[in-house]
Structure 1
Amino acid sequence: MELSTPQWGQLVTLLMVAVALGMDAFSLGIGIGMRGILQRQIVVISGTIGLFHILMPLMGFAIGRYLGKVVENIAVMTGGGVLCFLGINMIWNAFRSEEEARVINTRSMMGVCLFSISVSLDSLSAGLSLGLFSADIWLTVILFGMMGAIMAGAGLFLGRHVGTWIGDYGEAVGGVILFFLGLRFLW
């Protein structure tokens, strides 16, 4: 099965959004990994983040599809604005001080779920935006879930070996990608 040009465009765009959203999990994973983490914990945390990177966009899609029907003419601008806002928020969070960062205990299942929800909230908003654009829901949630889990695992694994600067710059890069994708929909 060969993909048409619009299908390739959608795939590339969704992959870029998935990577940008996974940067949050990657950067926070580095911080958690630097505190010391077992391989089993990496698998549990990564899997939970992947699951929430699937569930949150599904909720966002449902809300976005409903809003898309209600506000047809301004749906694209609203979605683009949300993506720009997410990008700016990720850039801002990348450079805030360590004292401002919240510490969640990832050794308990409750802590893992709270951490997973916190890094997946931007996926909810992205799902809302993409629901307004009528993107392919299954392709989107599969890409978001896979990239969220892979990038979280990579961040947790690398956190044991690398300094904090990668985490800050990784989240900032993700924010820049989302911001420019949002601008693309606004223009």
Structure 2
Amino acid sequence: MNPASLILLAFAMSTDAFAASIGRGAELSKVRFISALRIGIVFGVVEAIMPLAGWALGHVAMQFVSGIDHWIAFAMLALLGGHMIRAGLKKDDTRSPADTDAQPGDKSIWLIAFTALATSIDAMAVGITLALTDINIIVASLAIGLATTLMVTFGTLLGRAIGTIVGKWAEVLGGLILIAIGVAVLYEHLVGVVSA
């Protein structure tokens, strides 16, 4: 996976958390930077851990699927992307379970972490897919965590001005990016087979 694909993947993985943070920010009359950053860090840490867990699972399974790994990576990314697009298109409320307090920093860290976990399940599935590709999982996980921290902090801060509509389309864009990465993985393998 080239650096451009890695950056796209990192930001695609952060779009569902970004959508939730926009919904959160849209409900607040005033958002403090430190509170938004705290939520961003929690989401970023959880989002960075999940691909590592998925990668470990995928690495164990790789010995059984090495001949068709590129097809599995393509199918999983396409399914995840399609799911994100569908969820984004039918979503009319981007509220998360932590969306009931007046300020983002007022909620317990555990409830925020639970919300982060709920929005990062797809990152675990992507981690399984990454075990089937030639990528440094530490770099990928750090990139995903950093992108999520930035996107959630930014989304929380700008949610009031942007509104909930953008959150829906961010998830659709993330889904399209995942599908494009899946196509790129399949293309790179098939071109490599043809030229070999």
TM range (shorter): 0.7 to 0.9
Preserved CA contact (<8 Å) 1:50 1:149: yes
For the pair 1:28 / 2:20, whether they are aligned, the reply is yes
Instruction: Name the CA shift for 1:150/1:102 in 2 (closer, same or farther; >3 Å).
Output: closer
**Ranges in structure 1 where 5+ consecutive residues have no aligned partner:** 1-8
Are residue 65 (structure 1) and residue 71 (structure 2) matched?
no
Show the 5 A alignment for 1:162-177. Answer: 162-177=162-177
Which structure has the larger Rg over C-alpha atoms? 2
Aligned residue-pair number? 178
What is the RMSD of the two structures over their aligned residues, measured on CA atoms? 1.7
2:135 alignment partner, SS class: coil
Aligned match of 1:83: 77
CA distance in 2, matches of 1:91, 1:132: 24
SS in 1 for 2:144: helix
Q: For the residues of structure 1 that align with 2:62 and 2:135, how far apart are their CA atoms?
A: 12
Tell me the TM-score normalised to structure 2 length: 0.84
1:74-107 CA-partner distances (Å, limit 9, x unpaired)? 11211111111110111011122436x6640252
Paired residue for 1:160? 160
Look up the match of 1:112.
112
> Segments of 4+ in structure 1 off by > 2 A?
37-41, 183-187
Unaligned runs of 5+ in 2: 100-106, 188-196
Letter in 2 for 1:95: L
2:104 paired with 1:122 = no
Partner of 2:193: none
Taking a change above 3 Å as real, the CA distance of residues 72 and 145 of structure 1, as seen in their structure-2 partners, is: same
- How far off its partner does 1:164 sit? 1.6
SS at match of 2:179: helix
CA distance in 2, matches of 1:88, 1:41: 32
